[in-house]
Amino acid sequence: MSEFRPCVIIPCYNHAGSLPGVLASLAPTGLPVIIVDDASEPPVPAVPAVPAAVLLRHDVNQGKGGAVITGLREAARLGYTHALQIDADGQHDAAAVPALLEAARREPDALVSGAPLYDASAPASRRHGRLLTNAWVWLETLSFQIKDSMCGLRVYPLAATLALLDRRRLGRRMDFDVEILVRLFWDGVPARFVPVRVTYPAGGVSHFHPVRDNLRVSWMHTRLVLEMLPHLPALLRRKIGARTGARVSAPPAAAHWSDLSERRGAFGMRLLFLIYRLLGPRGVRPLLYPVTAVFWLTAGGARRCSRDYLRRVRERAAATGVALPPRLNSYRHLLRFGFALLTKIGAWRGDIPPESIRVTETPELRRQLDAHKGGIVFCPHFGNFELFRAVAEQRGVIANAVFHTRHAEKFNAFLREVAPESQLRIVPTDAFGPATAVSMQERLAAGEWVSIAPDRTAPDNRARTVGVEFLGATAQLPQGPFLLAAALQCPVFLLVAGTAVDTAADDAANAGANVPNASAGSAGKTPHAGRTAYFETLFDPLKIPRADRSAALQRAAQHFADRLEHHVLRSPLDWFNFFDFWAPPNTTGER
Amino acid sequence: MNPLHDEIKKLIIETLNLEGLRPEDIETEAPLFREGLGLDSIDALELGLALKNRYGVVLAEDSQETRRHFASVASLAEFVSSQKAPAAGTAAA
């Protein structure tokens, strides 16, 4: 492998107009060129301008893949070690060729592909189509390593490629580029990517047939996914191998919720939203099962956290004599999260009519509403607190949500994109300090509701936590929400919304103070699953007297944790904290 | 003697129910939080609300800045007067 002898392959079908330009742009590289004329009419003439050029011709059109295969075999026969494939229509930027070759020289066993950076000439449909194809490929390879599978500008390592071509017959048309990439990946060939510019020349000739080629591509993906299953153990070993290799410098999985990669999450949400818009909520549902399966297999951190959590739930339920719902496992836990994301999107877009939610309230909440006074609503990451906005709308109240600044901006941008009509107002906060208290006070004075998540500690102020017993072990809750509630002297409610099991049903019976108050219109009818919103009064108000500060704070936090545990044990899969919730407090943090 | 210092000391005692404490017991330059007067984070929130309601001051989200303003009675007085001054362009700096 010490020798690196690259050549260029250009598959050509009726590209006589653009071919000379492509050849001219390649001339500075000085690479030998193999042109495969896939039965063009008229035939591609010999190219005297490029002395080293080899011109091969098919008598019968075989498709782009067929032409590339002919070129690959010829390149191997001539003794080259690597072949750079480039399209004849001029869409690839030849300026990227040296970078691709350099990457191949550094890692001769890898396949090096261009990853397109689109300019304004790329149609949106093309970009969306590529996103869907990439999603298929991620499923087929169980990896995000393949950043782009359709770019026809790439360098093949010939030994591994010829071994694959000799072993099996690949799709010869538009399915070729994707299939060979996935199959080489299965053979253990790493995929590397170099950003390239791609333009769509105004007069460019594309041979993509919308119906025939889409069917062909769909069939290929179906085959690849089915064939992926026997590769599963090897693919997983590879993932685990890659992970243990990287463990030296990598932080432990999901150490703090805000450390979790947001990029992938945001990408996943965008993809889900795109599909939601294309297919509607019903259309997305069947897709969630395989997507969750992939996530379950690949997101080891989330899976481990789910298992650990479910173990604690079982032990706690056994200790307290609570009957758990059946079939609690980490796959169904992640699946429930997927369905909750759909509800989130629906809630943000206003697709969930406020009157379809059955709200159970308390006398204290009623009192506040009647007096046009606001309240603090604790919304833990349990169930779907996105229903909060719809519930507030149903009650004619403005809803605010306190968010950490770092997340507020991203969330706001996302919300504007998916739900420009959303009425939810975000209160950004840095540190739950006096400024947050002031802005909350203004909103409460105007009779608005302010929601706050008391189950996530602040990203940059982690030391200010309070330890509570939750599901049989000590967990840290942020002090901020409790301190704010105490300073503001207003009632605090717990909202449990959108859980699959209606955790309010048995509560209304055993907690005498709570008066169920089904909203007009849905009275007597069973509400949709996940369309219940249950308030309970946690503190009226929360008092943390000076003489007894830390003990009173701990009691308040423990009361919240006890009520949360009560609901969590009744619908365990609605718990959406996929990080180590019982991590010890970070003592190195700022005090 | 700055009358604003005295006013703020009274505000602190009233707001935080510091029973048995008189304005002259609070040192103008001494730290308010932890050592010194020994106030805590709930006190900071309550004091922030009281300052807003009494003087209409605007608090920045920046916790470092707030911490500086809340260091002592003297720094609070400076903060309040910088916001009260009509042409506070240079005074705020």
pLDDT at A8: 93
pLDDT, one tens digit per residue, over A462-506 is 558 899 999 999 999 989 899 999 999 999 999 998 887 766 555
- Strands A54-57 and A33-37 come out as parallel
Domain range summary for chain B, segments of one domain joined by +: 3-84
pLDDT, one tens digit per residue, over A56-115 is 888 888 888 899 999 999 999 999 999 999 988 888 888 889 999 999 999 999 999 988
Q: Decide if B61 and A486 are in contact by the 8 Å CB cutoff.
A: no
pLDDT at residue A551 greater than cutoff 90? yes
CA distance B1 to chain A (A): 28
CA distance B26 to chain A (A): 18
Distance CA A587, CA A465 (A): 10
Nearest to A434 among B16, B40, B44 (CB): B44
pLDDT at A536: 93
pLDDT at B48: 92
Judged by average pLDDT, the poorest of A177-191, A376-390, A424-438, B69-83 is: A424-438
pLDDT at A235: 66
In percent, the amount of chain A with pLDDT more than 70 equals 73
Q: Domain B3-84 class?
A: mainly alpha
Q: Report angle CA A139, A145, A149 to the nearest 5 degrees.
A: 70
In percent, the amount of chain A with pLDDT more than 90 equals 30
Report chain A residues whose CB lies below 8 A from the CB of B41: 464, 479, 483
Report chain B residues whose CB lies below 8 A from the CB of A431: 63
Q: Are the beta carbons of A177 and A150 closer than 8 angstroms? A: yes
pLDDT at residue A397 greater than cutoff 60? yes
pLDDT at residue A46 greater than cutoff 60? yes
pLDDT at A219: 74
- Tell me the mean pLDDT in the region A222-251: 57
Nearest to A381 by CA among A413, A317, A333, A431: A333
Report chain B residues whose CB lies below 8 A from the CB of A409: none
- Tell me the mean pLDDT in the region A292-310: 83
Q: What token pair was written down for B37?
A: 């007067």
Q: Decide if A433 and B52 are in contact by the 8 Å CB cutoff.
A: no
Tell which of B12, B17, B42 to mutate to test the A interface (max A CBs under 10 Å). Answer: B42
- Strands A465-470 and A473-478 come out as antiparallel
pLDDT at A257: 53
- Tell me the mean pLDDT in the region A19-43: 86
- Map residue B20 onto helix, strand or coil: coil
> Which residue of chain A comes nearest to B56, CA vs CA?
A438
- Tell me the mean pLDDT in the region A26-55: 80
pLDDT at residue A553 greater than cutoff 80? yes
Q: Decide if B42 and A438 are in contact by the 8 Å CB cutoff.
A: no
Confidence of residue A156 (pLDDT cuts 50, 70, 90): very high
Give per-residue burial for A140-177: e unless 16+ CB within 10 Å, then b: bbbbebbbbbbbbbbbbbbebbbebbeeeebbbbbbbb
Confidence of residue A333 (pLDDT cuts 50, 70, 90): very high
Q: Average pLDDT, whole number, for chain A?
A: 79
pLDDT at A495: 93
Residue B33 main-chain phi, psi, to 5 deg: -100, 155
Query: How many residue contacts between A and B have a Cβ separation below 8 Å?
Result: 59
pLDDT at A212: 67
Report chain B residues whose CB lies below 8 A from the CB of A482: none
Residue A359 main-chain phi, psi, to 5 deg: -105, 130
Confidence of residue A517 (pLDDT cuts 50, 70, 90): very low
Residue count of chain B, please give it. Answer: 93
Q: What token pair was written down for A291?
A: 């997507």
Distance CA A383, CA A400 (A): 18
Judged by average pLDDT, the poorest of A155-159, A485-489, B51-55, B59-63 is: B59-63
Looking at residue A277, its amino acid is R
Looking at residue A182, its amino acid is V
CA distance to A189, A222, A223, A378, B72, per residue, from A228 (Å): 16, 10, 8, 45, 67
Who has greater pLDDT, A146 or A271?
A146
Confidence of residue A39 (pLDDT cuts 50, 70, 90): confident
pLDDT at A525: 37
- Tell me the mean pLDDT in the region B21-43: 87
pLDDT at A255: 46
> Which residue of chain B comes nearest to A485, CA vs CA?
B42
Nearest to A406 by CA among A441, A357, A458: A458
pLDDT, one tens digit per residue, over A115-130 is 887 666 666 666 666 7
ipTM: 0.86
Judged by average pLDDT, the poorest of A141-155, A322-336, A349-363 is: A141-155
Confidence of residue B88 (pLDDT cuts 50, 70, 90): very low
Q: Are the beta carbons of A556 and A303 closer than 8 angstroms? A: no
Looking at residue A402, its amino acid is V
Nearest-Å Rg of the Cα atoms of chain A is: 30
- Tell me the mean pLDDT in the region A185-213: 72
- Tell me the mean pLDDT in the region A274-280: 71
pLDDT at A84: 95
pLDDT at A564: 96
The distance of Cα A253 from the centroid of its chain, to the nearest Å, equals 17
pLDDT at residue A548 greater than cutoff 60? yes
Q: Decide if A549 and B63 are in contact by the 8 Å CB cutoff.
A: no
Report chain B residues whose CB lies below 8 A from the CB of A544: 42
Who has greater pLDDT, B10 or A146?
B10
pLDDT at residue A272 greater than cutoff 80? no
